[in-house]
Amino acid sequence: MRNTRKIVLVGTGLVGMSFAYALLNQSTCDELVLIDIDKKRAMGEAMDLNHGLAFSGSHMKIYAGEYNDCAGADIVAICAGVAQKPGESRVDLLQRNTEVFRSIIDPVMESGFGGIFLIATNPVDIMTYVTQKISGIDPKRVIGTGTTLDTARLRYMLGDYFSVDPRNIHAYVMGEHGETEFVPWSQALLATKPILSLCEESGHRYCCQDMEKISQDVKNAAQKIIEAKKATYYGIGMAMARIVRAIFGNESSILTVSSLLNGEYGQNNVYAGVPSIVGRNGIGGIISLSLTREEQEKMDKSCEFLRGLIKDIGINKQ
Ligand code: NAD
């Protein structure tokens, strides 16, 4: 392994730059290349970040670059995307974003890139699948942010509800990053105590109905933030920086990134948010939780929905 940690970020909008800002503040890499279709924007962002370097403990080399800079990169992170036009269907938007991804991934691969793709563009599970299909690289090296942010939101809300440090909450949001995502409550723990048992034994202090409300609040969080400030970006930027730390540190950390399922949870040919082992080579494995029958049905429904979208955009036929 080389001793410089190099990241190329494609898409220097709100999400991309929140990620870049988190990388700078956490000294997560040594070299950061910014690429955007709007070259002037990427240049301005590089200047702005560089002017903060003196106040950080970091010695990062930051510059606006080109796709041939991907050659020696460890990670190419994609946060580029186009917004939905009025009257445009979800599938039309998906097809347009697929074309955007083709215009990015082809030159990345032509550069000789041999690292890991990290995808944040929505719908993230589909765009991660598209990235793997277009690039043709080992699926273990194509990672989507999946439900990492949703899981962070869940742990934050549960920590608040039970008045404990969210780091002592072990619970996941799984499936699609979107409407069909779900929380397998049978697998949720506070320290090593099952949360459902805690609710049942608490004498009405805590209750299972509140857990359902929390999973709804997690699902609606993005919409609520968008209503208030038009977009969400800090949380996802921090989630991406966390995934990058797991990769560079070869941590084998368990994160609910979007991984390609190959028989796990009875699913195939779909990327979805599942607890995955993340390290230097990307996805080192997937943890198969013991879901209840009801939870497994939710997983089936979520993956079915994602496979339907993949079929609609026809990426497999190209
Ligand atoms: P934004 O509009 O601020 O930024 C998008 C950037 O992509 C722009 O700078 C644009 O110039 C660039 N771009 C467009 N086409 C390009 C191309 N062909 N090549 C290179 N760059 C191109 O949007 P944003 O708020 O930063 O959001 C980016 C994406 O992240 C969206 O798809 C959004 O839905 C998604 N997102 C994901 C999560 C998650 O949990 N995964 C959370 C929040 C947002």
CB atoms inside a 10 Å sphere around CB 93? 18
d(CA 293, CA 220): 25
Q: Where along the chain do the CATH 3.90.110.10 domains lie?
A: 148-317
Q: Which residues are catalytic?
A: 177
Backbone φ and ψ of 232, nearest 5°: -115, 135
Closest to 181 (Cα-Cα) out of 226, 232, 234, 221: 221
Q: Is the CB of 11 under 6 A from ligand 1?
A: yes
Answer CATH for 6-144 from 3.30.70.270, 3.40.50.720, 3.40.50.2300, 3.40.605.10: 3.40.50.720
Ligand 1: residue whose CA is nearest its atom 7: 80
Helix, strand, coil share (%) of the chain residues, nearest 5: 50, 20, 30
Q: Is the pTM of this model over 0.85?
A: yes
Q: Tens place of pLDDT for every residue, the chain, 318 residues?
A: 457 999 999 999 999 999 999 999 999 999 999 999 999 999 999 999 999 999 988 899 999 999 999 999 999 999 999 877 777 777 888 989 999 999 999 999 999 999 999 999 999 999 999 999 999 999 999 999 999 999 999 999 999 999 999 999 999 999 999 999 999 999 999 999 999 999 999 988 999 899 999 999 999 999 999 999 989 999 999 999 999 999 999 999 999 999 999 999 999 999 999 999 999 999 999 999 999 999 999 999 999 999 999 998 887 655
Assess whether the C-beta atom of 120 lies below 6 angstroms from ligand 1: yes
Cα of 180 from ligand 1 centre, angstroms: 22
CATH 3.90.110.10 fits 148-317, yes or no: yes
Does residue 18's CB lie within 6 angstroms of at least one atom of ligand 1? no
In the chain, residues under CATH classification 3.40.50.720 are 6-144
Between CA 59 and CA 240 the distance in angstroms is 20
Which two tokens mark 25?
């503040």
- The token duo for 7 is 């990241």
